[in-house]
Amino acid sequence: MTTRIDAKFAALAAEGRKAFVSYIMAGDPDYDTSLEVVRGLPAAGVDIIELGLPFTDPMADGPTIQLAGQRALEAGMTLDRTLDLARSFRETDDTTPIVLMGYYNPIYSCGVDAFLTKAKDAGIDGLIVVDLPPEEDSELCIPAQDAGLNFIRLATPTTDDKRLPRVLQNTSGFVYYVSITGITGAAEAEAGDVGPEVARIKSATDLPVIVGFGINTPEKSKAIASVADGAVVGSAIVGRIAAGDSVDAVLAFVKTLADGAHAA
């Protein structure tokens, strides 16, 4: 199985470049605006789009992402509308990978088989479902991989050497390393702390390791990407949307972050 995610990392490796991943909450502040932002991300330098699935009770997300989810839900966003947004994006872009990030409840309510069929049809390439541990792989992870979707797992500063092999088992696409202990947007990532952890993970897997949480400036994006295979930025971008920045202004900010990661 080769997904758009696998193809993207192969292309980046051939070019000697690091990846830049951007997170956007689907439907924030409304469907049309978020679709316009998502459509503009590739031209702003984004290699992989992480599309947030709005949910009422998130666990890993800080206030910025939580509020984005609330705005999206209040604007009428659902799982099906999130997939509609991805499908609309695919009308003009068939190469940029999309990773759907969220929680299991909406997927469970939809039904795993029905969800996977819809997700594939919409052009989703990978899943990050933060509340399904490896012990529950038979629930969604393995069916997703059988359906041709990457299942991306998070490793954290508290993932010790005993736990790491279990986390990496059945993971594909890339490993998402959470640079801080806590929620999104709560603290700043430090390359000096992240580097040894990335090296530890890479010694146990051939998958790319991408670092997220606590990256909010072009300089930080460059510093973190320099010690990993790429960087993820979410809260800093979502915060610009919350502040009412225009789509063009949001995308201009994204480009500075992408340029930082690509300069690593």
For residue 210 the two structure tokens come to: 């991408």
Cβ neighbors of 136 (< 8 A, separation 6 or more) are none
DSSP state of 206: S
Is position 50 annotated as part of the catalytic site? yes
Cβ neighbors of 181 (< 8 A, separation 6 or more) are 156, 157, 158
For residue 55 the two structure tokens come to: 């949910």
List, in sequence order, the alpha helices (H) in the chain: 4-15, 31-40, 63-74, 79-90, 104-110, 112-122, 141-146, 164-168, 191-202, 218-226, 235-242, 247-262
C-alpha 148/C-alpha 83 separation (Å) is: 16
Helix (H) or strand (E) holding 233: strand 230-233
C-alpha 116/C-alpha 112 separation (Å) is: 6
Is position 61 annotated as part of the catalytic site? yes
Helix (H) or strand (E) holding 49: strand 48-52
Options 6, 28, 47, 50, the catalytic residue: 50
**CB burial of residue 159 (10 Å; 0-12, 13-18, 19+):** buried
Signed CA dihedral, 131, 184, 109, 171: sign only: negative
Options 6, 28, 47, 61, the catalytic residue: 61
Catalytic residues, by residue number, are: 50, 61
